[in-house]
Amino acid sequence: MLEDRVKTALDVVRPSLQADGGDVEFVSVSDDGTVSLKLTGACGGCPMAQMTLKMGIENFLKKEIPEVSAVVGV
């Protein structure tokens, strides 16, 4: 299932976020492959949060899971 694959992949990036005092929370994945995530902790209020989502997490998820089309923050 796509949701399980996304959650497993997020476990790979999570330690990097936690090292900076933040974390990522899975919210949902739509039928078109859009993954909704919530950055928490230090990452939640960071001015670089959008870049972390797009350039970091989205690129990683797309590489690991071709069905992922986009990552959005909620």
| Extents of the domains making up the chain | 2-73
* Mean pLDDT computed over 23-36: 96
DSSP string, 3-67: HHHHHHHHHHHHHHHHHTTEEEEEEEE-TTSEEEEEEEETTTT-TTHHHIIIIIIIHHHHHH-TT
Mean pLDDT in residue range 51-68? 93
34 pLDDT higher than 90 = yes
Model pTM?
0.89
Q: Which fold has domain 2-73?
A: GMP Synthetase; Chain A, domain 3 (3.30.300)
Structure tokens of 36? 């909704």
Compute the mean pLDDT over every residue in the chain, rounded to the nearest whole number: 92
pLDDT at 5 over 90: yes
**Is a pLDDT exceeding 90 seen at residue 47?**
no
Across the strands, what pairs with 35? 29, 71
pLDDT of residue 70: 96
